[in-house]
Amino acid sequence: MNVHEYQAKQILEAHGVNVQRGEVAATSDEAEAIARQLNCQLYIVKAQIHAGGRGKGGGVKLAKSPEEVREHADAILGMQLVTPQTGPAGKLVRKVLVAEASDIERELYLGMVIDRTDSRLVLMGSEEGGVDIEEVAATRPEKILKQTIDPAIGLPAFQARQLAFDLNIPRELVNKAADLMIGLYNAFVDSDCSLAEINPLAITKTDDGQDIVALDAKLNFDDNALWEHEEIGAMRDPNEEDARELEAGKSGLSYISLDGNIGCMVNGAGLAMATMDLIQLHGGEPANFLDVGGGATTETVTHAFRLILADEKVQAVLVNIFGGIMQCDVIANGIIEAVKQVDLTVPLVVRLEGTNVELGKQILADSGLNLIAADGLSEAAQKAVQAVAN
């Protein structure tokens, strides 16, 4: 699950991370009122969508007065913002963050991820902040500095200070930077995050000297832990997420929308990836990733079919099941029930293997359904691609 920048900053601020003063607005009137309340010399108006690169698409503007804040908010709200992360369709802007702009001296990057190889958290930093960190990691990996965190002791102050020194943060700000890093770590752990980023983390000029401030923030959360965090779950913005993905999650299904035209119903993430790879190998494009899991029932399979066929791009459906815990006869009955309830007008390719496979195949053969049977994974993918082509 993702949240907006302003929500991520609220969570970080609650853990002691220094962020800009600001509030979110849904109208230009609200934006102007927030600016008047902030009463500062320079403001920043930022579109709130679940995508980076907002400034490149015109979604981030500076303003010198509340009146100018209103003008920018009026222009940004309601726009279809296109960024490198939204694709050509862009995303509709429904809210803007109005904040006090900072006088930036340097921009850094700070992030925390899970290193699944070592089963530990890693705190990362770079002096190349404010840019595409993925590009930095790919072209100049030496610019990404890391501190691996021992789960038994958490992030100690000395380790955070070491990263601050490595990032050449001014000596007088090292302790404050270390406290900020510890706050980021605590927010990550307490909220069950899967990713936390502050980009840019800025060294700013102030009347008293310098400060260190989180100018932007991104938090992703582990969906499996949201039951423990109702307050975070309440931050979900359904306008920013695929409705089918949300519906699937409520039913215990894993569903991800893609750009192709072949719907894929599988059991197991590994089999799903292999299925999509083979579809592409044979010249096709998957329309989704739908994993019914190992304990699916007839009702679950029927619901999965509804989700797949709700996508207007789908021109064929490939069911690829390897029955271990999942039994092929259950899948077969689910397919029959789904076809009875759903107006299936696209070709259906079915490949079953594993527990009760012969019974499953017999159930399908006796059903009278107009389906395309396949014996192997590669054959199934090839037949699905051919069905779309025909």
Return the percent helix, strand and coil in the chain, to nearest 5. Answer: 40, 25, 30
Whether the Cβ atoms of residue 307 and residue 277 lie closer than 8 Å to each other: no
Count Cβ atoms within 10 A of the Cβ of residue 282 and give its class: 0-12 exposed, 13-18 middle, 19 or more buried. middle
Q: Which of 109, 185, 255, 353 is catalytic?
A: 109
Q: Which residues contact 268 (CB under 8 A, 6 or more apart)?
A: 291, 293, 294, 322
Bond from prior residue into 84 cis (ω within 30 degrees of 0):
no
Tokens of 43: 């403001």
Whether the Cβ atoms of residue 191 and residue 11 lie closer than 8 Å to each other: yes
Q: Which residues of 74-110 are buried (b: 16+ CB within 10 A; e: fewer)?
A: bbbbeeebbbeebeeebbebebbbbbbbbeeebbbbb
Question: Phi and psi for 33 in degrees, rounded to 5?
Answer: -65, -40
Listed residue (276, 262, 292, 296) closest to 377, CA to CA: 276
Helix (H, G, I), strand (E, B) or coil at 221: strand
Q: Rounded CA gap, 285 and 294, in Å? A: 25
Q: Rounded CA gap, 300 and 314, in Å? A: 20
- Bridge partners (DSSP) of residue 197 are 111, 218
**How many Cβ atoms from other residues are within 10 Å of residue 58's Cβ?**
15
Q: Which of 5, 197, 255, 353 is catalytic?
A: 197
109 is catalytic: yes
Whether the Cβ atoms of residue 297 and residue 238 lie closer than 8 Å to each other: no
Q: Rounded CA gap, 381 and 252, in Å? A: 26
- The alpha-helical segments, DSSP class H, found in 62-125 are 66-76
Q: What is the DSSP string of 250-273?
A: HTT-EEEE-SSSEEEEESSHHHHH
**How many Cβ atoms from other residues are within 10 Å of residue 206's Cβ?**
10
**Separation of CA 67 from chain center:** 35
- Would you name the residues annotated as active-site residues? 109, 197
